Amino acid sequence: MAVIKPFRGIRYNPERISDLSSVVAQPYDRITDALREQYYALSPYNIARIIQGRPQPDDQPENPQGPNVYTRAREYFQQWLEEGVLIREDAPIFFAYEQQFTVNGQPYTRLGLIAAVELVDFDEGIILPHERTHAGPKADRLRLLRTMETNTEQIFILYPDPENKINALIRQAIGNREPDMDVRDIWEQDVRQRVWIVRDPQIIAQIEAEMAPKRNLIIADGHHRYSTGLTYRDEQRAKYPDAPPNAAFNFVQATLVSMDDPGLVVLPTHREIYNFTLTAPPQILQRAAEYFTDETVADLDACLAQVNAHPHGHAFGFYGGAETGFHVLTLKDAALIDKLIDDEHSEDWKRLAVSVLHKILLDKIAQVPAHGIEDKTMIRYHRDPQLAVRHVDDGEGNFAFFLSATRMDQIKAVAGRGEKMPQKSTDFYPKVISGISMLPVGPQERL
């Protein structure tokens, strides 16, 4: 069963922080060096100082005693609590979390619930991953968690609820009252983030009961943090074998969103190949002609329109610079997938656009080495396709591929089989921002 609980969260004190927009941030893995500097300039209390702090020349990242970004994060956290910049709830609560945004001119509203979610191993079939993880980010997040003993962000989890019964309960809890937080993050300024504290014990109990029988919840964002939470949980259980089931280290802070929420939007993540000269763009087009039709199109907009129009996602945009121009490569026959992808994966996995792109176009045709993809020394991922084009035009990139978004039914099918998609297969928009709340998970904490 899926166990969620209210918790005594730690949050920014609105009496000390007049503009809460100055302290929120994108999730840690979206904070570039340049964006971090912007967050630092916004406020001395911005959450980026905790989740993705500025490294110093004398840092010792692997030393638990520091100095390093993790020990400085703990110092900020403790100082802000002492100063009253951060406050802790007196009683366990949920947070209702609404995001209003627009995609391609269409307005959306996505509703979520911030709660403590019981960590369960993936083989139990209650919570499932859908993307691969990598050792580096897991080691980084584990060091932060061990040092802080606090979930400093929320991961993003999808749950099945065809009738959106939990959304109805959340709306009942919100009523017509003004939100407790109403902010816009500087990176996604078009997204309005509204948060309400939910204290009603009857509604809290109803939401817990409605969630309890659910299985096949899917991690949308936060695979590394969830895996880190499992590792930390196991470490704490070994140290404190008599701790009760409601020990906070058995839980992770998450934003839960219904898979059937009308505001659930998945965007594509485009690929730019750089630092790679083995195969030139004309060679890629020549080799691709064996398996793909090749249509030259006028510009990026025309390219994306045709890519998104393909019913199965097996049309791919390609740009190799001004001389090569824009092309749409469409797979001639879906039967070619089984011939060209010989991995031990299901048909659902093989037919994903990202699988066809990586296994056929990048691997077999362009011959980009696997290590260049794995360690990201030869690939950059882009939500904005224009940025990939700009990099190629400026000589920073070699070529770019554009693909359509992974559909929710595909995510359900692949995750339900226990398979993991290639990294960056999905981009759930908008991101769940950091700085709304934190969940203490030290050994003495209880839910």
Percent of the chain with pLDDT strictly greater than 70: 100
In a domain, residue 424? The reply is no
Domain count, the chain: 2
The tokens for 16 are 């000390």
User: Are 291 and 235 in a shared domain?
Assistant: no
User: Are 259 and 356 in a shared domain?
Assistant: no
User: Are 282 and 226 in a shared domain?
Assistant: no
User: Are 322 and 232 in a shared domain?
Assistant: no
pLDDT at position 422 is 86
Contact 292, 330 (CB under 8 A): yes
In a domain, residue 261? The reply is yes
The tokens for 423 are 């990294």
Percent of the chain with pLDDT strictly greater than 90: 94
pLDDT digits (tens, 9 = 90+) for 298-312: 999 999 999 999 999
Please state the φ and ψ torsions of residue 443, each to the nearest 5 degrees. Answer: -60, -25
User: Are 280 and 323 in a shared domain?
Assistant: yes
In a domain, residue 217? The reply is yes
The tokens for 133 are 């993880």
Per-residue pLDDT for 247 more than 90? yes
Q: What is the mean pLDDT of residues 88-107?
A: 97
Three-state secondary structure readout of 138-196: HHHHHHHHHHHCEECCCEEEEECCCCCHHHHHHHHHHCCCCCCEEECCCCCCCCEEEEE
User: Are 339 and 245 in a shared domain?
Assistant: no
User: Are 94 and 224 in a shared domain?
Assistant: yes
pLDDT at position 429 is 95
Q: In the structure, how many helices (H) and strands (E) does the chain have?
A: 15, 21
Q: Report the mean per-residue pLDDT for the chain.
A: 96
The CATH number that applies at residue 357 is 3.30.1760
In a domain, residue 163? The reply is yes
pLDDT at position 329 is 98
In a domain, residue 445? The reply is no
Q: How many CA atoms lie within 13 A of 245 on its CB side?
A: 6
User: Are 177 and 64 in a shared domain?
Assistant: yes
Contact 285, 294 (CB under 8 A): yes
pLDDT at position 141 is 97
pLDDT at position 21 is 97
- Confidence band, pLDDT 50/70/90 cuts, at residue 132: confident
Maximum C-alpha span of the chain = 68
In a domain, residue 420? The reply is no
Contact 263, 110 (CB under 8 A): yes
pLDDT at position 134 is 78
In a domain, residue 386? The reply is yes
Domain coverage including residue 296: 269-404
Q: What is the mean pLDDT of residues 210-225?
A: 95
pLDDT at position 162 is 95
Higher pLDDT, 350 or 418: 350
Per-residue pLDDT for 52 more than 90? yes
- Confidence band, pLDDT 50/70/90 cuts, at residue 399: very high
User: Are 227 and 103 in a shared domain?
Assistant: yes
pLDDT digits (tens, 9 = 90+) for 333-390: 999 999 999 888 999 999 999 999 999 999 999 999 999 998 889 999 999 999 999 9
User: Are 215 and 256 in a shared domain?
Assistant: yes
In a domain, residue 423? The reply is no
pLDDT digits (tens, 9 = 90+) for 135-163: 888 999 999 999 999 999 999 999 999 99
Per-residue pLDDT for 424 more than 90? no
User: Are 217 and 90 in a shared domain?
Assistant: yes
User: Are 76 and 213 in a shared domain?
Assistant: yes
